[in-house]
Amino acid sequence: MYKKFLITSLLALVTSFGYTQSEKINIKSEHLKEVNYLKIHDFYLTHYLYIDVFLRENLFPEATPEDVSAIFKAVKKYVSIENRLDVEIEKPGDRNYLIKFAILKKDDGTELLIAFTNWSPQKREFEKEIKMENDSYTRWYFLNRNKMIYRKDMSDQNDYASINKSDLANAYLFDELPENDAKIKIAIDAALKEKDINLSDEIMGNLILLKYLIFQRDTDNIEKQTKHLNSLFEIGALESNLKGLEVAFNATKFQIALMK
């Protein structure tokens, strides 16, 4: 379950002022003011939004780290309950890629970061405008202190006692409970010390370790771990079952660039 989650999760101002990181990307808002409302750890923002807004559905895979970083920084700096942020990305053809970032606060106090787009999964095309009431491609994330998760409470859905150590480490890394952060490295170490570990599982464990090091902003060991994973993929160069993990690794290397 969690291996599939990691792989699939790893398979993009024109009012009072303006700035653009490239000729293709324009970031804008009608009532722009710095609020720094979001307190999310950059690890979650770069992990989820890069995958969901740029890679998934092949929306804008050609985006550079500079382009993506500019958008993420604008989201953290300007998006609040009162203020939305619009992004327009120039695409070939007559329809550009439109994204609207907003924060919704529900009656129970729960807050969600939502990315609305003009992409239609049904039509497989970009529509003329974002229609927030229809079935256009939209992603939303529950905000919990400095955490950002797909569901409001992932831990209640997890039977941590029944999953293997590698999946357990991944669950701890992406759940909403800060107290589980201290358990991540312990679970990773246990996974990598298991007897008769095959190459796929070894790469999975080391990939989760790389994610953990990014989360910890451990720059020196991030570089070492990246080199180690490169060597593992070289060993398994002819193994077709590693393709999904390789895609995940490439996305993680992009995330490293975003976190610098």
Global confidence as pTM? 0.86
Contacts 24+ apart (CB under 8 A), 100-105: 100/130, 100/132, 101/75, 103/37, 103/38, 103/79, 103/143, 104/140, 105/81
Mean pLDDT across 64-76: 93
SS3 87: strand
CB 232 within 8 A of CB 203: yes
Residue with the larger pLDDT of the pair 132 and 238 = 238
Using the predicted structure, report yes or no on whether residue 218 has a pLDDT greater than 80.
Answer: yes
Whether 255 and 46 have beta carbons less than 8 Å apart is answered as: yes
> What's the whole-number mean pLDDT along residues 115-133?
92
Q: Is the pLDDT of residue 10 over 60?
A: no
> What tokens appear for 208 in the block?
């989760």
Residue 17 pLDDT > 60, yes or no?
A: no
pLDDT tens for residues 137-185?
999 999 988 999 987 655 555 567 778 899 999 999 999 889 999 999 9
pLDDT top residue among 23 and 88? 88
CA–CA separation, 99 vs 56, rounded Å? 14
Domain coordinates of the chain in residue numbers? 14-149, 159-259
DSSP 104-144: EE-TTS-EEEEEEESEETTTTEE-SS--TTTT--EEEEEEE
